[in-house]
Structure 1
Amino acid sequence: MTIRAQHAARAASAAALAAVAMGSLASCTSPSASGATPVATGAGADASGTRTATGGYQTPGGPESVRVTLTAKAGTVTAVRVVGSGGSPNAQQYQAAFISGIGAQVVGKPLASLEVGAVSGSSLTANGFNAALEKIRADAG
């Protein structure tokens, strides 16, 4: 594949990802300035409720993203759900590995200081998770 064709393929992938992201955002009924969708309110270390945000990250194959839904009670994570964009088979594999192990890494941990590294061998997906986490924390106040 020529460099020009590779750039065209990446541009098409980025456009498709943007369309999916816009579709997801269009379904939000109460978006916040941070990009997170609050379901309940809270502040900082006392944050409680369920929030959702999308975090993007770069891979060798192009841009990817994960949508993170996190539930906290009194500032402690009680549940997490991650959905990957899965733009390529390679991304799908790494996102699936990340998703399978993320609960053990975050449930029971304080939201205020939470940050993940490689999970189940997937290090780049963690960048998207942490980006979404920043939006969720900003929304939690």
Structure 2
Amino acid sequence: MSALSKKITTALVGISVTAAIAGCAATETDSSSPPPPSNTTGAGPSGSPSGSTTSGGPYKDGKYTMDGEYGTRGSSIGVSVTLEDDEITTVDVTPHATDETSLGLQRRFADAVPTLVVGKDIDDVDLDRVAGNSHTPAGFNDALEKIKAEASS
């Protein structure tokens, strides 16, 4: 393996996103995406939208908070998103792990997520492996499915 290949491989290890937008895969170098927001707090009760309830698409605008579950040991992660016209405008991921190793992985995941999902249509987001996490994205995707169900009712 050449030195350049090793550098590229090293740079890409741990981060991949499966996000189809109009049949094309999104890249992380898309300069049209807005900068990642600061992590926010103050979400309404889990599963409850807060703020506006108008919408230009199938989902009601507002802020939604859900826990997503993954794995066989009852692992979970908290996810809050703000939707405007079906687009994720803010995201906040809250680690729930108590084990030091798992907590570290969830924190790295939480730090990486905003640049991957903010500015994307919620229906086009399906995270795979992010920041060395292969299981935590499943919890994030589970929370997004719950959020979509809540925002469409």
TM-score, L = length of structure 1: 0.68
Contact kept? 1:55, 1:130, Cα under 8 Å: yes
2:151 corresponds to 1:133: no
DSSP 3-state at the match of 2:147: helix
Alignment RMSD: 2.0
Question: Which of 118, 121, 124 is the aligned partner of 1:113?
Answer: 124
The one-letter code matched in structure 1 to 2:124 is S
The one-letter code matched in structure 1 to 2:69 is G
What is the aligned length?
107
Structure having the higher helix fraction is: 1
DSSP 3-state at the match of 2:80: strand
Contact kept? 2:81, 2:92, Cα under 8 Å: yes
Quote the Cα distance in structure 2 between the aligned partners of 1:115 and 1:42: 25
Question: Which of 91, 115, 124 is the aligned partner of 2:102?
Answer: 91
Higher mean displacement: 37-46 or 99-108:
37-46
The one-letter code matched in structure 2 to 1:41 is T
Quote the Cα distance in structure 1 between the aligned partners of 2:100 and 2:142: 22
Question: Which of 75, 78, 98 is the aligned partner of 1:67?
Answer: 78
Quote the Cα distance in structure 1 between the aligned partners of 2:128 and 2:58: 21
In structure 1, the partner of 2:67 is 54
In structure 2, the partner of 1:41 is 53
The one-letter code matched in structure 1 to 2:145 is E
DSSP 3-state at the match of 1:108: coil
Contact kept? 1:70, 1:81, Cα under 8 Å: yes
Gaps of at least 5 residues in structure 1 are: 1-26
The one-letter code matched in structure 1 to 2:111 is S
